[in-house]
Amino acid sequence: MNTSPFTTHNTAWQDLGGGLRRQVLTYGPELMLVKVAFEAGGVGAPHQHPHVQISYVESGVFEATVGEQTQVLRIGDTFYAPSNVRHGVVCLEAGVLLDVFNPLREDFLQPQEG
């Protein structure tokens, strides 16, 4: 776990393939903040997890689906994905999402195989 309440350095980016990169910014047991950079056409494949998620569009344009609803989101827009609800995005114009998870995504802290 982080031992300081501040993160003032750049953490490493993880290449997720398919035009996506992830950077874990900060976290504690109850909360995690993650930056995900997408190239145009990049897909955050539909998935679900027990974590509650809020995503903020920092830049770019995304088609986001949460449950049965789909909407195009631009800078400043957000979406909320409740626990175990299927969600995903398609990046229409290169951009960045800031994702918040409760509780933290322990799987994001594991070394990536590849």
- Are 105 and 82 in contact by the 8 Å Cβ rule? The answer is no
Tens-digit pLDDT profile for residues 55-109: 999 999 999 999 999 999 999 999 999 999 999 999 999 999 999 999 999 999 8
**Strands 31-38 and 43-47, sheet pairing:** unpaired
* pLDDT score of 8: 67
Is residue 114 scored above 80 in pLDDT?
no
Alpha-carbon distance 93 to 60, whole Å? 5
* pLDDT score of 48: 97
Q: What is the mean pLDDT of residues 9-28?
A: 91
Mean pLDDT of the chain: 93
Percent of the chain predicted with pLDDT > 70: 93
Angle value at C-alpha 88, between 12 and 25, nearest 5 degrees: 20
Nearest to 62 by CA among 33, 85, 93: 93
Instruction: Give the DSSP letter string of 3-33.
Output: SSS---SPPPPEEEETTEEEEEEEEETTEEE
Alpha-carbon distance 18 to 82, whole Å? 25
Whole-model pTM: value is 0.90
